[in-house]
Amino acid sequence: LLLDLIRKYSNDASAIPEHLSTCQRYEVFMESEWDTGIDFEKEFHKPILLPGVTFDKIMEEANNMWRSYRETGKKCMFRNGQSAEGGYIQFAAPLMWSHVEYLRALMVKHGDWWKMS
């Protein structure tokens, strides 16, 4: 049931998004985490960065995030609280992690996961 639900929300190219949300929750995220800098602090927390990542690379990625968030926000054309996508928005698709976790779940479901270890 859960795997079918995940598949239902994949995009036209069958990509599984990292984020699936409502416009209302997205707006709350933008106000409470992006606009305040909390999202930036979490994403670029020094102890989790790879050694040698220069600040210009951090800023390049921060700008990519900002553009992605801005494009996502454009999908939130409110009509009775619904997004243009039919009540939800998705972004960061494809994300390899989402696909790996989905594949792992399929393999566990079919008993193939333990054969690979």
44-98 pLDDT tens trace: 999 999 999 999 999 999 999 899 888 888 877 655 555 555 567 777 666 666 6
Question: What single letter denotes the amino acid at residue 4?
Answer: D
Residue 111's identity, in one-letter code, is G
- pTM confidence score: 0.65
> Is residue 109 within 8 Å of residue 90, measured between CB atoms?
no
- The dihedral built from the CA positions of residue 77, 83, 20 and 99, taken in this order, carries a sign that is negative
Q: What residue spans of 44-117 are helical by DSSP H?
A: 55-74, 96-109
How do residues 11-27 score in pLDDT, each as one tens digit?
A: 777 777 777 788 888 88
pLDDT score recorded for residue 111: 77
Cis amide linkage into residue 51, ω under 30° from 0: no
Confidence of residue 117 (pLDDT cuts 50, 70, 90): low
Residues belonging to the chain: 117
Copy the structure tokens of residue 55.
Answer: 């600040």
Tokens for 8? 């239902």
